[in-house]
Structure 1
Amino acid sequence: MTSEVYLVRHAESTHNVSKDSSQLDPGLTPLGFEQATQLTQTFPYAPQMGVLDKRYFDQVSGHGIENGAILILDPDLQERSALPCDTGSISPALEKAFPGLGVKDLPEGWQVKEGIYAPGDEAVKERAKRVRSRVAGLSNQLKDEQRKHIVVVTYGIFMKFHSRDADIDLENAGWKSYMLEKHSSGIVLSGK
């Protein structure tokens, strides 16, 4: 199994500018929205995977594209720390803000930084391992389809655990390409 996986850091949020870590689940800044828009125009394969499929939008809005990117929300991709700025909103609030994206499918209490979502290294390493395993499973499902690329959008510190690349330090809306490979130590991402 060898598949290309792109790790993307989220676009600029308000706490990235204000350095106020007490903000719960901060939104994007105007620059963050610009970065996200620019990413859909400059990212490799953007027409195929950088824009969400029409199914996620109402028919009137005209947003999304035919055979666009499929969105999978994965609570394991949340940031490592238990600071409010790194803690997600409760599912009902997210569902109201982002109807149609499948937020209701997130497990109860996913945003609570305890148990499997705790901020400690061991819990985060285990989450990263689960994500790599799910990405490998997704890669296997896609091998017979035209869709060959997987994009993982996550946070700066969690990205270090997921990629096992302690030196990765992407700017907001930055990305890096990896190859997903199976090794004796498990599923790994190797830099291109």
Structure 2
Amino acid sequence: MVRVLALRSVPNLWRNEDSHPRVPWLHNILTYNCSVHLKFLRLFIMPPTLLLIRHAQALHNVSNDWTIHDPPLSELGRQQCAELQQSLKASKIADEVDLIVVSSMRRTLETAVLGLDWLINDKKIKVLPNAGWQENADKPCDTGSAISVMEKEFPQLDFSQVDPRYPDKTTDIDNNPYAYTKQAIMARGQMVLKELYSRPEKVIAVVSHSGFLRTAVCNRRFFNADWRVFDYDEDAMRQSRQKGEGADSTGRFILKEWKETEEKGGGMGRSEKGIFTNFSADFPPDPPKIPETGEVTEENPVPGAN
């Protein structure tokens, strides 16, 4: 038996603000055969819009004390979560969020639970803690806590899909996707963008960190609890594929910011405007190259040794 549905019932095909489908050439098609595999249909539907949010102020931001392990939000940070919620409620984009992805670290989890609580509790939007969106460095403040600890602090969240390697950043550096190396960080940025690109949701909110967002995701600065909106830049990605860039020369995943948040300096207008490329200080120096003879060909002095 062939089932026939109106295209308006297809998730992600229609935008709330107009009557046109997200795929213009399907405008005059009124029905489709439900037996067609959904993956085939997904080929003709736009990837999700990303609402990227930086966590609110945490204790290490107050004192610049990087020795605080996986710090919680400060009192000001909690106030910023209320301001974040007010700002998002005033925007149209928040009404379209149908998935929340959040770094598994304490300050991002607290920001999501406090700043997005109406989405989580009232609209029952699913929350996915994800190790891929954690901060870059391996300092105590940028190293997460064991999932068993987080499960007790946030019993309302499901941590079952978090990579069991989390929060380790320091073992098996060459193969650890969370290692504090330029190669690992840039690869992780592409990994998380690839994961979200193929998801069926229309708008995905992501709560992450300033360093990771700037260096590996979108080259933008974020003030605490500020937010920006991005779409996948299909034209730039097509050019990247043609140039053979990215892993296995298949092209890079590239984002393009919405004009509204780009010109304003974030949704709350608190973030620095502009595009910010990476600096050498963003990453640790590359390890010395060891030839087959075992001799070190380059010397990398230990910081502070002189």
Q: What TM-score comes out, normalization by structure 2 length?
A: 0.53
Per the alignment, in what secondary structure is the counterpart of residue 12 of structure 1? coil
2:230 corresponding residue in structure 1: 178
1:88 corresponding residue in structure 2: 144
* Structure 2: 5+ residue stretches without partners: 1-45, 98-115, 171-175, 242-250, 259-306
1:24 corresponding residue in structure 2: 69
Q: Percentage identity across aligned positions? A: 27
Q: What is the distance in 1 between the residues matched to 2:127 and 2:197?
A: 16
Which of 14, 17, 21 is 2:59 aligned to? 14
The CA deviation string for residues 50-106 of structure 1, in whole angstroms up to 9 with x for no partner, is 43655xxxxxxxxx11x3432111101110000000011111110010013112432
Q: 1:176, CA displacement in angstroms?
A: 1.3
RMSD: 1.8
Matched, 1:151 2:205: yes
Q: 1:132, CA displacement in angstroms?
A: 0.4
Contact kept? 2:59, 2:74, Cα under 8 Å = yes
- 1:125-144 alignment, distance < 5 Å: 125-138=186-199, 141-142=200-201
Contact kept? 2:132, 2:192, Cα under 8 Å = yes
Q: What is the distance in 1 between the residues matched to 2:256 and 2:216?
A: 11
Q: What is the distance in 2 between the residues matched to 1:164 and 1:122?
A: 16
Q: What is the distance in 2 between the residues matched to 1:22 and 1:39?
A: 27
Amino acid at match of 2:206: V
1:113 corresponding residue in structure 2: 169
Contact kept? 2:128, 2:159, Cα under 8 Å = no
The count of residues paired between Structure 1 and Structure 2 equals 173
1:58 corresponding residue in structure 2: none
Per the alignment, in what secondary structure is the counterpart of residue 117 of structure 1? coil
Q: 1:23, CA displacement in angstroms?
A: 0.7
Quickly say closer, same or farther: Cα 1:48–1:149, change in 2 above 3 A: closer
Contact kept? 1:131, 1:162, Cα under 8 Å = no
Q: What is the distance in 2 between the residues matched to 1:52 and 1:105?
A: 23
Matched, 1:78 2:134: yes
The CA deviation string for residues 10-52 of structure 1, in whole angstroms up to 9 with x for no partner, is 0000000011111110000111111112212211244554436
* Structure 1: 5+ residue stretches without partners: 55-63, 143-147
Q: 1:109, CA displacement in angstroms?
A: 2.7
Q: What TM-score comes out, normalization by structure 1 length?
A: 0.82
2:183 corresponding residue in structure 1: 122
Q: What is the distance in 1 between the residues matched to 2:95 and 2:177?
A: 35
1:37 corresponding residue in structure 2: 82
Per the alignment, in what secondary structure is the counterpart of residue 131 of structure 1? helix
Q: What is the distance in 1 between the residues matched to 2:155 and 2:167?
A: 18
Contact kept? 1:14, 1:28, Cα under 8 Å = yes
2:247 corresponding residue in structure 1: none
Give structure 1 regions of 4+ aligned residues with deviation exceeding 6 angstroms: none
